[in-house]
Chains A and B, each alone.
Chain A
Amino acid sequence: MQSNAALEYDYSLAKKFTFLTILFGFLAMLVGTLIAAQMAFPELNYLIGEYGTFSRLRPIHTNTAVFGFTVSGIFATWFYVGQRVLKVSMAESKFLMVIGNIQFWIYFVGALLATISLLFGISSSKEYAQYQWPFDLVVVVIWVLWGVGMMGLIGIRREKALYISVWYYLACFLGIAMLYLFNNMAIPTYFATEGLGSIFHSVSFYAGTNDALVQWWYGHNAVAFGFTVPIVGMIYYFLPKESGQAIYSYKLSLLSFWGLMFVYLWAGSHHLLWSTVPDWMQTMGSAFSIVLILPSWGSAINMLLTMKGEWNQLTDNPLIKFMVLASTFYMLSTIEGPIQAIRSVNAIAHFTDWIPGHVHDGVLGWVVFMIMAAIFHMAPRMFKREIYSKKLMEAQFWLQTIAVVLYFTSMWIAGITQGMMWRAVDEYGNLMYSFIDTVTVLHPYYTIRTLSGVMYLLGFMMFAYNIYKTMTSGRQLTEEPQFRTPMA
C-alpha cells in the first residue's frame, strides 16, 4: 500500500474551514461582547434601530457561536484528523474532494444568509433552533454531505481500527442529525392557514409541555453533541500528538465514550425542573445529570494523566497549556452543571446569570481554547510554516484565561445574588425586592463581564493575527514536524 511515495494528506478543506472558524469566531464574540455591554449600559440597544437590539443580537451571538464557529471548527479538524488517523488522503478520492467542497460552499453561503435572516427577525423563537425552516433544510443538506464524506473516507481507510476520535466525530454526526431533525419539525403558517400566514413563519409540530421537553432534549444535547463530544474527539487526537504521549488509558476512553452516550441523552429535563413536565422526568434529569460527572471526568482525567511524567511540557509549550487548561475547564463545567441540576440548587440558579456563567466557563475555557489549540497545531502542518510568535501566544493565553475567570466569577456572584433577592421575603411573607432592585445591584457585575468580553475578544484577535502572520510570513519548514509544534 505504501507504493505511492508522493502521496500526501490534502489539507485544502481543513484550511478553508479554519478560515471560517476564525471569521465566525470573531463575529460571535464581537456580538457577544456587544450584548454583554448592552446589559450593563442599556442605551447601547438603540444604536441602529431594531437591528441593534438585544433581542435581535442574542440569537445571532448564540447561533453564530454554535453553528458558525464551533461547527466550522469541527469540520476543520475533521478534515485534518480524519485523514491522519485513518491513514488515507482526501486526494485519493476525487469524489470525496468534490463532496467536501460542495459542503464548504453551501455551508459558507448558508451560514451567512442564516445570520442575516436572524438580523431581520426571521426566527422560530426556539433556543439554538431559531433558524427558520428553509435554513433547517440547508442544514440537513450540509449534514448529509458531511456524513457522506465521512463515511466515504472511513470506507477507503488503510487503518482498520477506528481511533477513538473518529468515534466521537461519528457520534457528533449522528447525534446532531437526530436531534436537529426532531426538534425543528414545523409547519409554515402560510400552508396551515390557506395563505393567511407567512412562508417565513412556522409553528412547531409539538405544543405545550411536549414542545418544552423536545426543545430541551434537543437543547441540552446540542451541548452534548456540539460542545462536548467533538471537542473530546479533538483533544484525544491533538493532546497525544502534540505531547508525543499516547492516551493514558485507551480502555478508559472507550468506556467514557459509551458512558457519555448513554447518560447524556437523559439529562435534558434538568432544564425544566419545577415546571409542568412529569415529576419522574425531572427526577430522572437530575439523577442523570449527576451520573454524568463520571464519564465527563473519566475523559478529563484521562487527558490530564496523558501528561504523566511530561508535565515539564506544560511550562515550555504554550499549546500544551491551552489544552490542559481546556480539560481543566471541562472538569469545572461538568461538575458545575450537575450541581445546578440538583433541584434545590436549581430553584435558586434557574433564570439567573449563573446559567450564562456556567455556559461560558464551558465554551470559553473548553470549546474555544481547544479549537484554537487545534488550529495552532494544524497551522504549521497546513501552511508548512512555523508559528509566527510564541510570545504573542503566551500573552493571548493569559489575557483570555483572566477573561474567562472574570466572566464566570462575575456571573456566579450576579446569579446567586439575583436568585436570593428574587425569593427573599419579609416577616409577613411579602417579597422584599422588586425586579429593578436586582438590576441596580447587578450593574457592576455586568460591567465586569463586558470587560471580560473585550479582553477575550482581544485575545481572539491576537490568535487570528498570529495565524495570519504564520500563513504569510512564518519561517518555512522543510519537513512536517512530528510532535511538538514549532514556533518562533
Chain B
Amino acid sequence: MDMDLRNLQGYASFFMSLFLVVMLYWYIIHLYRSEKKGERDYEKYGNIALDDEVTSTPVEDKPASEREYKEENK
C-alpha cells in the first residue's frame, strides 16, 4: 500500500481521534475523582445562575481546607 498524503491524513485523523477520545474519558474520571477526593465541588457552580445579583456573594472556589459549603449543602 502506498503511503501518499491522503493516506497519511487518514491515519493522522484516526490517531488524533483516538487521542481525543482518551482525553475525554480521562476528563470524566477527573471530574468524578476530584469530587470524591473533596478537591472540588462542581455542582455548586450551578448556583451562579440562581444567585446572580450584582451584590450577591460570588460562588468562588476556595481550597479544600477552607471550604464550608459541603456542610451547608447537606
Chain A interface (Cβ < 8 Å from any Cβ of B): 2, 5, 7-9, 83-85, 87-89, 158-161, 163-165, 236-237, 240-241, 244, 246-247, 249-251, 254-255, 258-259, 262, 266, 278, 280, 284, 483
Contacts and interface: CB of A to CB of B under 8 A. Distances in A.
Interface residues of B, number: 31
B32 A159 contact: no
A241 B43 contact: no
B43 A249 contact: yes
Given A251-B31, A278-B10, A284-B13, A240 B58 contact: no
Interface of B: 6, 9-10, 13, 17, 20, 24, 27-28, 31-32, 35, 42-50, 52-61
Given A240-B49, A241-B49, 5 more contacts: A87-B53, A161-B45, A161-B48, A240-B46, A278-B6
Contacts, number: 90
A258 B24 contact: yes
Contacts of A259: 24
Contacts of A266: 13, 17
A249 B45 CA distance: 10
23 contacts: A2-B55, A8-B54, A83-B54, A84-B49, A84-B54, A85-B48, A87-B58, A88-B54, A160-B60, A160-B61, A237-B49, A240-B46, A241-B52, A244-B50, A247-B46, A247-B49, A249-B43, A250-B45, A251-B43, A258-B24, A266-B13, A278-B9, A284-B13
Contacts of A251: 31-32, 35, 42-43
Contact of A255 (B17, B27, B35, B56): B27
A380 to B, nearest CB: 15
Contact of A7 (B9, B42, B47, B55): B55
B58 A158 contact: yes
Most chain A C-beta atoms within 10 Å of own C-beta, residue among B6, B17, B27, B52: B52
Contact of A9 (B13, B45, B50, B54): B54
A276 B61 CA distance: 52
Q: Which 10 A-B pairs have the closest CB atoms?
A: A246-B46, A160-B60, A84-B52, A163-B48, A280-B10, A159-B58, A247-B46, A240-B49, A250-B42, A251-B31
A94 B16 CA distance: 45
Contacts of B27: 254-255, 258
A237 B45 CA distance: 12
Nearest to A241: B49
B60 A262 contact: no
A302 B52 CA distance: 21
B54 A87 contact: yes
B60 A159 contact: yes
Contacts of A163: 45, 48-49
A88 B56 CA distance: 10
B20 to A, nearest CB: 5
A159 B59 contact: yes
Contact of B45 (A5, A164, A255, A258): A164
B31 A255 contact: yes
Nearest to B57: A2
B55 to A, nearest CB: 5
A292 to B, nearest CB: 13
B49 A236 contact: yes
A424 to B, nearest CB: 35
A85 B43 contact: no
A320 to B, nearest CB: 15
Given A159-B59, A250-B42, A89 B54 contact: yes
A254 B42 contact: yes
Contacts of B52: 84-85, 87, 241
B61 A161 contact: yes
Given A84-B52, A241-B52, A251-B31, A262 B20 contact: yes
B54 A250 contact: no
B15 to A, nearest CB: 13
Contacts of A244: 50
A9 B42 CA distance: 26
B24 A161 contact: no
Contact of B50 (A83, A241, A255): A241
B10 to A, nearest CB: 4
A250 B17 contact: no
Given A251-B31, A284-B13, A85 B54 contact: no
Contact of A240 (B24, B31, B50, B53): B50
Contacts of A280: 6, 9-10, 13
A246 B24 contact: no
Contacts of A89: 54
A246 B50 CA distance: 7
A195 B10 CA distance: 42
Contacts of B48: 85, 159, 161, 163
A89 B56 CA distance: 12
